[in-house]
Structures are given as structure tokens and as C-alpha cells.
Structure 1
């Protein structure tokens, strides 16, 4: 269960766009965010000599899909220098190290495996790792330590803007009416969409479908990008979502499904007919009055 926590972010140069060092004040793990252009500055830091788990974030050049590579090493300086020379896609590295220098190669190997597994399960990023690898043999007490370390990494990565382990959609109860009570539906213009309104925007869920053709006034660049990324596939006269996808606005989500310009606040409805506008916008306004 989520609980209140204090997170400290230190800016070594005072530049919020530069290197950032994040810690939970009661934990022994810190995460250092390094823009690629400042990698040389990180390599001069003492943390570059430590054992660490690292995450390289960037975007696919063709479709703009977010990408991630996860690795571990006994020498961050050597390994990140190699990635700087060989890997093109990334523009930020996030590096997890121990404040007490207690992270061993065994810890790091298990954390790498666990991180890849959970990132793949979440499905937010296209993973640049070739495979999930084999689960390394790790004694039970060390696995318990790694679970706590991983929870800290998860929180710090998300706080720094990289929620690689968090699924886009929230869990919903299966079966019966409880499932319908947490979802919104878009059934305008032959669309058959299901989605969730979240803190990040509006998530259209896997399996949702819409019309393949678009109205003359509709700009379809977003659709073209999603088709290129494999988020959408053509299925006859329909388009279908192959995985959950986050839109910044409810209207962006309903536009993509219907192939035309819409007001998503009115198009997305609960099974009883109440709109997103009624449940989210009006409630907030009434609460503030």
C-alpha cells in the first residue's frame, strides 16, 4: 500500500535540468539521474566506481516510442562509457547505488533480472534488452534485501519522471459489475473503447477498437505514429489496440478511436450513461464552490 514518504532531491550544480540525486531519507539507496551530455561529469564522481544497477531511457527514432535498457555492473564508469560509445537511443541514465557501499555483484545481478521482469510486465517502455535473462541464484535473505532495494528504486525512478515499473492502467476487479464501475466506455461512431481516467491522463485499454477511416478534418498523425509503434493494428475496417496506451487528454483518446474530432469529456461514459465530465469535472467544481 502507498504511504507518505519524504524524498530528497539534490542538485549538485544547482541546475534542475542537470544531474539530480534522489534519496528516500530512511533508505540506503540513492538514484542519480544523468543527462547523456553530462555523462563525463558523472564519471568523475565517486559513485562511478561502485557496483550499480542502471537504466538508459530514450525514444525510438522512427515511431517515438519510449525505450529503456536495464543493466548492472561492478564498474559503472567502464560500462556506461561503453554504452555511450555503442548505444544511440538513450538520452538519460538513471543509476542506483548504495549509500553504504553494501551493494554486491550478486545483489546487482538479481536486481537487474527483477527489474527487467517487472518493466516488461508493466509494458510502458519498449525494452532494449534482448531477453529477460535467467534468474540468478540468490540466497533468500539477499532476495529479501533486494525486494526492499527494488521498492526504493521504483519510487525514486517514478519521482524523477520514469515510472518504468508501473502499469499504465490500474487493476480492476474481474467479473460481475465491479469491473464496469471502474471503467469508461466510448461507443460513438462505431468505436468500442474501454478506458480509465488516471493521474497521468486517459488510458485506452488493450482490445479497444475503432473505425479505420477518418473524417477529412481529422489530423491522423497520432494514429500513424501508434500504427508504426505497433500500439494500433489494422483489422479490416477497424483499428485495434494491441496494448494499453496513455493519452494526455480524454479527447485525444476518443479522437483516435472514432477517427474524428470529439469531446472526450462527453464521449467517455460509465455503463449507466454518466459522462467523464459529470463524474470528474463537475464534482471537482462543486467541491470547490
Structure 2
């Protein structure tokens, strides 16, 4: 995870299309990250970076929750092989290269192995690699360079909307102070509200069925997370096997209740203060300090 400090990130649109190829750089670094839609593979093949040694990430599925990590001495050619394989279901490639073209096969082999390890640890994406990569013998100076490259790459990925290596919650903060609970209709849930949404914590549980009027979409979503192993059925309830991010508090509480819900009201602090009122108090304290 990149250290949280002020940074300047430059994003360049070579075709002028914000949905097309995007190139991200930190102004003080020689690392460049190129986002390539699958539809723009031919355009990427014309770029000089396509001939470089590079690390790449393939994002698969509509929900952007499946990930493949790879590396190559000729990254453009390798991506074309993936593109021609009709069994490969991916929509966007993210390619990490050096502005000075000084990455070696040892660099990217180490970075591939490290990226797979970190992605598994963060559990944001379902990793579909068949193995853990080949971590080569890496001298200490080269390892230090790779760790710095990985940190910069993590920042650039998150800036473009792919926080592959970002923990769901801040490990430095006290979880007890951030935790909210949802306890309606037999739900026994704990969650942490972050800048990305509501993280439902491992061990949270809720009934598999509900007597309330509901829509099929809620059961469909429940079954999807069951199939992925995010939740497991235990004694007529589903239980979260790991922390899981919902984009909104209402999305999280609706999933748990299997029905429409206002998460700003249904999530409460252990003292019974709603998330809405809790956030309001924080805003009031900031306003008072500014006066």
C-alpha cells in the first residue's frame, strides 16, 4: 500500500477519449501506467511502450472483480496473444513500464510474484492466476527498486480506479472506533464506513430468507456472493467469510436485509447514533474548529 501523502499525478489521453487509452504518471517517478481498453489493443500496439519489458493486469467481468497478473519481455505481443484467445474474458489491460526502458526480466518476475501475493492479501479482486508466479533470486538493491516500483504502481492503479493493492480499511486506525452495526430483522452486522463505501466485516451474518416483500435482484446478488465464496450458508443464515466492500451504506444494508433499505438510518454506532447523525456531528465539530 502506498503511503498516504500529497502527490501529483498526471493523466494523459493520447486519443483525447477519456474512455480510451489513459496514461498515468507520478511527476517525480519514471514509472508509467497505461490503461488499455480491449477495443484499443491495435492502437496500443503502435505505441513504443508495447515493445518494452512490462508488468500487466487484466481486469475481467462487468463488476471489475476478476484479475489476472502477468509479465513479459514484449508486453504488447503478450497482450495480443491474450486478445486472440477467445476463452479469455477481459475488458481492460493495465500495463506498467519504465520511462527509461530499464526494467529487466528479473524486475517483472519479482513484481509479478509480489503483485499476486499482495492482491490475494487485499482480496478486492478474484485472482484467476493458476500459480503464484516465479519469484527469482533478487539482490537487495534490485528488490528495493522493485518495492518502490510496486508502491508507485499501486498508487497509479488506484488513481485510475483500480485499487488492487489498497486495504479495505485503514490498518493504522482502531476498528472499534469506526465500526457501525446493523441489527434489523435478525441481521447481525458490523461495518466500517470509508471514502469508498461501507465495508461489511468478516463474521457478519443475516437470514437466508425474509418475510418482507422483496425483489429477485436481492436474492440474485446473494447467490452471486455465495458462488464466489464471499459468504457461506450456515444454519439458515449467510455469513461473510471476509471483509467485503459495498459502494454505499444502503447497498450494504439492502444486501443484508434482502430488501430496500436506507443505510444512513439502518447503520448505527454501538451507542445507537445513526450513520447520518454521526457524520453530521463530525461536520459540526469541524465547523466549530474552523470558527
Residues 202 and 157 (structure 1), Cα distance of their counterparts in 2 relative to 1, 3 Å cut: same
Deviations 1:66-124, CA, capped at 9 Å, x for gaps:
11111111011221111112252210000011001111111111111111110111000
Q: Residues 210 and 257 of structure 1 are in contact (CA less than 8 Å); yes or no, is this contact kept in structure 2? A: yes
Separation in 1, partners of 2:32, 2:242:
32
Runs of 5+ consecutive residues of structure 1 not aligned to the other structure:
none
Give the deviation of 1:129 after TM superposition: 0.5
Residues 181 and 287 (structure 1), Cα distance of their counterparts in 2 relative to 1, 3 Å cut: closer
Q: Residues 19 and 32 of structure 1 are in contact (CA less than 8 Å); yes or no, is this contact kept in structure 2? A: yes
Deviations 1:115-168, CA, capped at 9 Å, x for gaps:
111011100001111121343210000000011111110000010111111122
Q: Residues 215 and 260 of structure 1 are in contact (CA less than 8 Å); yes or no, is this contact kept in structure 2? A: no
Separation in 1, partners of 2:261, 2:92:
36
Q: Does residue 1:51 correspond to 2:53, yes or no?
A: yes
Give the deviation of 1:212 after TM superposition: 1.2
Report the secondary structure of 1:95's partner residue.
strand
Give the deviation of 1:267 after TM superposition: 1.9
Counterpart residue number, 1:74: 73
Separation in 2, partners of 1:82, 1:271:
53
Tell me how many residue pairs correspond in the alignment. 282
Deviations 1:226-262, CA, capped at 9 Å, x for gaps:
2232222221221111222211221221222233333
Q: Residues 178 and 193 of structure 2 are in contact (CA less than 8 Å); yes or no, is this contact kept in structure 1? A: no
Counterpart residue number, 2:155: 155
Separation in 1, partners of 2:247, 2:259:
17
Runs of 5+ consecutive residues of structure 2 not aligned to the other structure:
none
Q: Residues 180 and 270 of structure 1 are in contact (CA less than 8 Å); yes or no, is this contact kept in structure 2? A: no
CA RMSD in angstroms, aligned pairs only: 1.9
Give the deviation of 1:172 after TM superposition: 6.2
Q: Does residue 1:28 correspond to 2:24, yes or no?
A: no
Give the deviation of 1:225 after TM superposition: 2.4
Separation in 2, partners of 1:183, 1:56:
34
Q: Residues 180 and 271 of structure 1 are in contact (CA less than 8 Å); yes or no, is this contact kept in structure 2? A: no
Q: Which moved more, 1:49-58 or 1:181-190?
A: 181-190
Deviations 1:180-235, CA, capped at 9 Å, x for gaps:
22211112221111111011111111110011112342222322322232222221
Q: Does residue 1:275 correspond to 2:290, yes or no?
A: no
> What TM-score results when the alignment is normalised by the length of structure 2?
0.91
Q: Residues 110 and 134 of structure 2 are in contact (CA less than 8 Å); yes or no, is this contact kept in structure 1? A: no
Report the secondary structure of 1:226's partner residue.
helix
Separation in 1, partners of 2:274, 2:64:
30
Counterpart residue number, 2:10: 8
Runs of 4+ with deviation above 3 angstroms:
281-289
Separation in 1, partners of 2:43, 2:175:
50
Separation in 1, partners of 2:234, 2:259:
18
> What TM-score results when the alignment is normalised by the length of structure 1?
0.91
Residues 172 and 98 (structure 1), Cα distance of their counterparts in 2 relative to 1, 3 Å cut: closer
Separation in 1, partners of 2:179, 2:191:
6
